[in-house]
Amino acid sequence: MRGFWYIIESVLAGVVIIGFLTVLGRTYITLPEPIDLSVMGYETLKSLDDQGLLRSYVVDKNYTGLNSLVAVGSYNHSIKICNYSGTCVGPTPDASNIWIAVYLIAGSDSYDPHEVRLFLW
């Protein structure tokens, strides 16, 4: 009978230790969130639109001025502005592993949709 209680005691001790390590590991060991550059680029363009800066540059097709406003961490970037018919102004980067964030915006006085493409690499 004495061996039975030792087995029960060791099983309970194992359950307590495993439970403690599970709770401890879940709170202190967290993996960093992966960075999604497309979402980061979209949020950058949306914040410029919320500030009222994006529309005037897009309507004037001033991609260099808009490119100077964009700051996305340590990533290289370029802007391309396209209208509804597919005519685009701005350079397309010649790099590998390019992420593209697309933001659609209407004209200032009339419905003249434009697509802003933010290339990140």
pLDDT in tens, 36-77: 777 888 888 898 899 888 888 888 888 888 888 888 778 888
Return the residue matching tokens 């209208």: 83
| Same domain? 71 vs 90 | yes
Residues 48 and 22 in one domain: no
d(CA 10, CA 121): 56
- pLDDT for residue 107 is more than 80: no
Tell me which residue range forms the domain holding 45: 37-120
pLDDT value at position 76?
Answer: 87
pLDDT of residue 37: 77
Q: Please write the tens of the pLDDT for every residue from 82-102.
A: 988 888 888 888 888 888 888
Check: pTM over 0.75? Answer yes or no: no
* Cβ-proximal residues to 42 (8 Å cutoff; 6+ apart), any chain: 101, 102, 103, 118
How many structural domains comprise the chain?
2
